[in-house]
Amino acid sequence: MSETALKDLNNIPATERKSEGSGKACLTKPPVDNANGNTEESQKKKNCSSLVSPHVNGNQAVPADSVVEVGTVEVEYIDSENLNDLEDVDACVKTLLAGLDSKDWVLVCDTLNNVRRLSIFHKEAMLDILGDVITRIAKALKSPRSAVIKTAIMTSADIFGAYNDLIIDSLDPLLLQLLLKSSQDKRFVCEAAEKALISMTTCISPISLLPKLQPYLKHKHPRVRAKASMCFSRSVPQLGAEGINTYGIDKLIQVAASQLSDQLPESREAARTLLLELQNVYEKFPNLVPAATVSEDPKTETVSEDSKTETVSEDAKTVTVSEDPETVTVSEDPETETVSEEPEIATESWESFCQSNLSPLSAQAVLRVTSIAREGLVS
């Protein structure tokens, strides 16, 4: 059988045997020249992609510590005080919305920085499109790129500082995203968002901001509730005594009481801080909170002023003046006016107020918090 096979092999023409051998070579031999060409071409592409022009802020180079390299692209984070003015404001405003809508995330970052420059140096130029700009900033806060998110957060802080209450109607989507970002695990994003929230509570009037914050105190995300509670607690003292009375101290104490039982300690601590502020206003400014110290009885009026007690009583038959170091009484009429100030009365008034506006359990929790704080101050 082997001899037959050898004969058959010898009968194959030489040209066929050559072509068969060359076919096998083509299958096994790599195209060296072509491979070298591809290698050189890929090396050129790699070198070209690694060449990135440095970012500049106006005519100044950006400091190295303010630049974050993402892949092969550098993104600049410039503090507000270091931003330079724009050369052509009108041209920048015309391309602003298109830049924010771009698919190129680097262009979005550059445009966000231009929004910051406009807010600081030319805020009137952006008034007509402010609502559209804020909507796009909120969209940028949802970006998968951390660089875009942080730049958008920094832009939000500058927007708050420039426009104050003018953005209140467009605040909701921006506020939610900032609360979410301040709850993230990425530290540099979280810290930037917290700074923006502080700027918000500082720059926007509390009478406008508190109603916007209140729904987020019941958000399903516990960290969002905590951040909202902290913002709420920071904003209330800026109302002042008159503002607290106008907003409703009873509403505020109910909000604070609801946060005392929250899951996270940040919420509970913010609630304690708010309750102490409300108690201080309640007891320090009785004329602004009538229910705190004035009993509206048709025959009796009590005002806290001095440790001594003065009672005036008018009777038709008797007039008596008793001069005691602590008491002066004139009996003239069935109606009685009493002026007194004693620590027990103030404490009872606060306790009575809590019990009349809260459930028994909530009132007990509030009184426990405020009494412990007072004992700590006394000791």
Structural domain span for residue 314: 297-321+329-340
Mean per-residue pLDDT, 330-348: 46
Q: Are 97 and 228 in the same domain?
A: yes
- Whether the pLDDT of residue 257 is over 90: the answer is yes
Q: What is the pTM of this model?
A: 0.67
- Whether the pLDDT of residue 128 is over 60: the answer is yes
Q: Which pLDDT does position 57 carry in this prediction?
A: 55
Q: Are 71 and 130 in the same domain?
A: yes
Residue 148 included in any domain:
yes
Tokens of 45: 């592409």
- Whether the pLDDT of residue 300 is over 70: the answer is no
Q: Are 95 and 208 in the same domain?
A: yes
Mean per-residue pLDDT, 351-367: 94
Q: Are 237 and 172 in the same domain?
A: yes
pLDDT tens per residue, range 26-83: 333 344 444 444 444 444 444 433 333 444 454 444 444 444 544 567 787 999 999 9
Q: Are 217 and 335 in the same domain?
A: no
pLDDT tens per residue, range 154-182: 999 999 999 999 999 999 999 999 999 99
Q: Are 304 and 272 in the same domain?
A: no
Residue 186 included in any domain:
yes
Residue 372 included in any domain:
no
Q: Are 210 and 312 in the same domain?
A: no
Report the alpha-carbon distance of residue 230 to residue 197 in Å, rounded.
Answer: 10
Q: Which pLDDT does position 76 carry in this prediction?
A: 75
Structural domain total, the chain: 2
- Whether the pLDDT of residue 234 is over 60: the answer is yes
- Whether the pLDDT of residue 326 is over 60: the answer is no
CATH code of residue 223:
1.25.10.10
Residue 154 included in any domain:
yes
Residue 85 included in any domain:
yes
Q: Are 72 and 102 in the same domain?
A: yes
